[in-house]
Chains A and B, each alone.
Chain A
Amino acid sequence: EAAVTQSPRNKVTVTGGNVTLSCRQTNSHNYMYWYRQDTGHGLRLIHYSYGAGNLQIGDVPDGYKATRTTQEDFFLLLELASPSQTSLYFCASSDGSGGRDTQYFGPGTRLLVL
């Protein structure tokens, strides 16, 4: 069973604050993804990566940066957090082709921006 962990599980910050969300997968998957989940919008792709040092832009990238430091680790950075970024964030990974293979999700990080 693929294992994806996220930290922190909950985070509160203020407007303009700096936040880093972490994701680690231990199955040597090539692809990793960051999503945000909001009522009425479902899961929306922020950024993704197909290997260390690679970064691809998703559907809602504004206000977010990401970095893939190793095969295992993928970070999402909010450098000037805004209340509109209050959301539930999920990381996922998949082996092989991310568009045709199963994605394995972490437990999520709930972010509140005051």
Chain B
Amino acid sequence: GDSVTQTEGQVALSEEDFLTIHCNYSASGYPALFWYVQYPGEGPQFLFRASRDKEKGSSRGFEATYDKGTTSFHLRKASVQESDSAVYYCALGSNSGTYQRFGTGTKLQVVP
């Protein structure tokens, strides 16, 4: 079945470091791909999405490019801030179009 893999469970960076969080998916066709962010004590919130090959999604300085060839949608940010500390989830839209399947999440901690 469809699946999403996030390889990093935790990432620790210093402010102004470059961020990459890896997301790979397994699915047929061109599923919609999403990134969500969850701050402590809150529910996840939508960051951005992409739905076709080579499409770039972006928001708040974060970006990811849909890559059908490598089945990836890696999250990147050029310069992280302490306020970016959160859990980041990659998600894949089901082929049925009725639900999303989430990865296991990556906890980002940014120290000043």
Spell out A's residues near B (CB within 8 Å): 4, 31, 33, 35, 40-45, 48, 50, 56, 58-59, 90, 92, 97-100, 102-108
Verify A99–B100 contact, CB threshold 8 A. yes
Spell out B's residues near A (CB within 8 Å): 6, 9, 31-32, 34, 36, 41-46, 49, 51, 89, 93-105
Docked complex Cα distance between A50 and B99 (Å): 10
Docked complex Cα distance between A4 and B34 (Å): 20
Q: List the A residue with the shortest CB-CB distance to B102.
A: A43
Q: Which chain B residues lie closer than 8 Å to A41 at the CB level?
A: 104
| Neighbour of A105 across the interface among B44, B51, B94, B98, CB < 8 A | B44
Docked complex Cα distance between A4 and B103 (Å): 22
Docked complex Cα distance between A104 and B100 (Å): 12
| Neighbour of B42 across the interface among A59, A92, A104, A107, CB < 8 A | A107
17 A-B Cβ contacts within 8 A?
A35-B102, A42-B89, A42-B103, A43-B44, A45-B99, A45-B102, A90-B43, A92-B43, A98-B97, A99-B31, A99-B96, A99-B97, A102-B46, A103-B46, A104-B45, A104-B46, A108-B42
Docked complex Cα distance between A36 and B101 (Å): 12
With both chains docked as a complex, state the minimum distance between the C-beta of A45 and any C-beta of chain B, in angstroms. Answer: 6
